[in-house]
Amino acid sequence: MKNKSLQTFAAISLALAGFQLSSEGGYVDITAYDGTASKTYKVSGGPAAGKTSSDPRPGIGESGEVEPASVANASWDLRAMAFDVNTNSLMIVSGFNPLALNDGISIGDVFIDINNSFTIPQQGSRPHLTYLPLSNSVVGFEYAIDLISPGNGGLGYNIVALSQGSTMLTGAYHENDLSDPATLVASGADTILSSGTFSVTTKTDAQVLADLGLNIGTNGGTNYVFTFDLSAASLAGGATFRLTETCGNDLLVGQLAANSVVAVPETSTWVMGFLAIGAVLVLWRKQNKVAASTAKALAPV
């Protein structure tokens, strides 16, 4: 009977373990190399004349780095991406204020590739402000985080499922083609999966490290931190996130590994789980009663 009791306890433990959510919460840095080499040169002519290709501030990785021939200072720098697999939330750390216009430029939309179908565009391959259909081989995104009036104090966004009829707008400057695409051109071809709002908090470089665990170096300036709930998107197979300003001055890429996202059980699953645990407990009590009765019957008079 002792062995049966142990087996029952083991069954209860396994049942509880199978319905326990991961306790390892928090954001993990998913910032990836954006695919453009960091070069040091000055553009000799055109709209970007005199601009350097990289940001000389002591950042780390994509923090403290902008695209070739782009404005190199803190207010144009997109710095880091992080993901919380327990809440399916994407966090962005940016030197660019997502709620304001900077010289008429706003932050772009976040494009999401879940099947490695995106191809990095080639610089100078097309004029600025070009509309790209999803069927174009240089696009290949399945989802987008479509910001609603981000340059006008807007706090809203839609999680959008893209289709062959979806179109995107490239960066505003020809020199920054490497950062394409910049924004989604919303249309009836898109399917809105969910809507939400995001708030923006400001932190110093030290606070980003202390509060978020993201080491972005010592950029100086203000870090704008904001998050998006991506529970509506299917990211279990992994994902690549790409974000730029509408001018294409900087490109930020994040890569989420496959099988990282925690699948939260539905209500019916929880109910079935607790019923199963309850049944095991009832069985255990019955076994104890039988064991007690047997012991009593066999006890010497």
pLDDT digits (tens, 9 = 90+) for 162-200: 988 888 888 877 666 666 789 999 889 899 999 999 999
Cα distance between residue 5 and residue 12, in whole Å: 11
Please, what is the average pLDDT of the chain? 77
Whether pLDDT at 225 is above 80 = yes
Whether pLDDT at 65 is above 90 = no
Beta-bridge partners for 194: 159
What is the arithmetic mean of pLDDT over 52-61? 71
Cα distance between residue 14 and residue 223, in whole Å: 44
- Helix residue ranges, H only, 56-125: none
Out of 91-95, 112-116, 169-173, pick the least confident. 169-173
Does the pTM surpass 0.85? The reply is: no
CA nearest neighbour of 65 among 48, 77, 75: 77
pLDDT digits (tens, 9 = 90+) for 5-39: 445 444 444 444 443 333 334 999 999 988 776 55
Cα distance between residue 42 and residue 27, in whole Å: 37
Rounded to 5 degrees, what are φ and ψ at 173?
-120, 135
Whether pLDDT at 2 is above 60 = no
Beta-bridge partners for 161: 143, 191
Instruction: Tell which wins on pLDDT, 239 or 164.
Output: 239
Instruction: Tell which wins on pLDDT, 46 or 76.
Output: 76
Cα distance between residue 21 and residue 18, in whole Å: 8
* End-to-end Cα distance, the chain: 22
